[in-house]
Structure 1
Amino acid sequence: MMDERLESLIYLLQRNAIADPRVLAAMRDIPRDFFIEAANLKPLAYADEALPIECGQTISQPYIVAYMTERLNVQRKHDVLEIGTGSGYQTAILSRLARHVYTIEIHEELHRLAVGRFKALGLDNITALCGDGSKGWPEHRLFDRILVTAGVSAAPPDLVGQLGPCGAMVIPLGKTSSQRIALVARAETRVDYQSLIPVRFVPLL
């Protein structure tokens, strides 16, 4: 039954122009229901909708996970910084594509649950911290890709500053009622912004 629901979801993603075979393969490989604790919500794991999780947060709609991942264009050689681990589902998807994923979550409970899930699934290319993600990774370093899974009015300067040469960041920008996904790309001495689709994310804390 789950296979049927998963294949229906993959078909829906393809119908909605998610075309990268690596992203689709990652969505197939990572069991979304494993990242949902509430038993009454597990049957909805493969519906294309956001669902509530602990600490008043959400696990993002699968289409948005796939869309943001595809726009980030993660390659196997890349180190990725994720701001907002949440349930860990998006982190796990990224781990299938990147060399290593560094992820920060401000809520201790979410951090603890996500780390347990990573271990249970054998995802050994993830380093997870509990802390303030708006400041970026605590140790000064550059990342090939950055993904932010919470909304902000403007891209935090500390995150932009951790973009490496030719680096890219996908981030929801704007007020909660009028957010849009933005692609932030570093090109030599400048940083370019491209506005993409409208979304609604919880605010970055």
Structure 2
Amino acid sequence: MSAVTTSVAVKPRGMRPIVKRLIWIGLIVILVVAMALSTRVVSKDSAAAQGTQKFNAAEYGAAQFPKIQSYIADHAVDAATLATAVEKDQSAAAKQYGKSVDGATYIIPVTFTGVVGEVPASGYTPVTVEGLPKDINVGLQLGPAINGTDLRDVTGKVTLNDFENQIEFQNAGAAINDVLKKNLAAMNATELKGKTVSVQGAFTLVNPQQWNVTPSKITVEQ
């Protein structure tokens, strides 16, 4: 008689209901914590709550121009002092008295008193400044067009990173210049030929013999 071998399949035991429940509870807790960490609470008055606001160049220029005037008034170097420093070492003078937003060019706040020459239809008006070497020519922007971004950049604190894009950055500089144009028009700056003026302004020091100054403030001497 032959022996018969039998096998019995053993059904694996599943997780106990209490274990399943604990796992689900743990997953829910993890999800809630993750949601809480990724949620930022803002007040109803914050910029984020109100959404992204469109850049207003005119408002920016009106707000910044007085601050730029104040900065130049506080930091402007006398033209004669600057001329001596530039003659000795242009690079050192630029770093001592100016600010740079690109590490290459320096904008210098400057102050001087001089006699206004012939005012051209466009470009820079020559100003004869007493105390400067004869080989240094000073030009002054009197409008009606105002070029460049010397006023925007003179503090060294306004950079592209402050704006959404390059267009806003350019518009910011143009808006500051627009405020200056209004001020110059109000004082009839294009009719200053032959008059003695006290100037506060800024220029990019590139050519040590040609200072093309954008004014922040002009006072006509009596």
Whether the TM-score (by the shorter chain) exceeds 0.5 is no
User: What is the TM-score when the length of structure 2 is the normalising length?
Assistant: 0.22
With normalisation by structure 1, the TM-score equals 0.23
Higher helix content, 1 or 2? 2
Which structure is richer in relative contact order (CA contacts within 8 A, separation 6 or more)?
2
Choose between structure 1 and 2: higher strand proportion: 1
Larger radius of gyration: 2
